[in-house]
Amino acid sequence: VGTDDIVKQVLAETAESGADLVVEMAGSQETINAATSILKHNGILVLYSYITEPVTLNIGRWHDDAFDIRTTCLVHHTVQERQVWTPRALRPVLLGQIAVNPLITHIFALDQVESAFQELITNPKAVKVMLKP
């Protein structure tokens, strides 16, 4: 994404029809709108990210192209739903299909929890901050 025009690339790969399903994971205005741009008519938009700031979206496209929009933030689901979906969501990690270790950008000792949170809040390059005993 940092080097290629993702919208142009996906549309080229799909003969301009767009993707059946797009999972948005970054939570920025740019990435949500890019996800919207590459989704085909009646496609599924999965909002996996945690959006922390107000964003301006092309909602007209969501309506006009009848997108099926799904949120995956498990904390907003019931306990019963979490018991069903959490193992399924983590399965690719457990099977080694998704490597999570490269996402850990900072490691702090447990007694440095305040510094860890400060790093996470102030450093835009902090992706995942880990606390170790």
Q: What is the pLDDT of residues 49-86, one digit of tens each?
A: 877 788 999 888 888 999 999 887 666 677 887 788 78
pTM for the structure as a whole: 0.60
39 three-class SS: strand
Give the pLDDT score at 50.
Answer: 77
| Side-chain-facing half-sphere of 65: CA atoms under 13 Å | 21
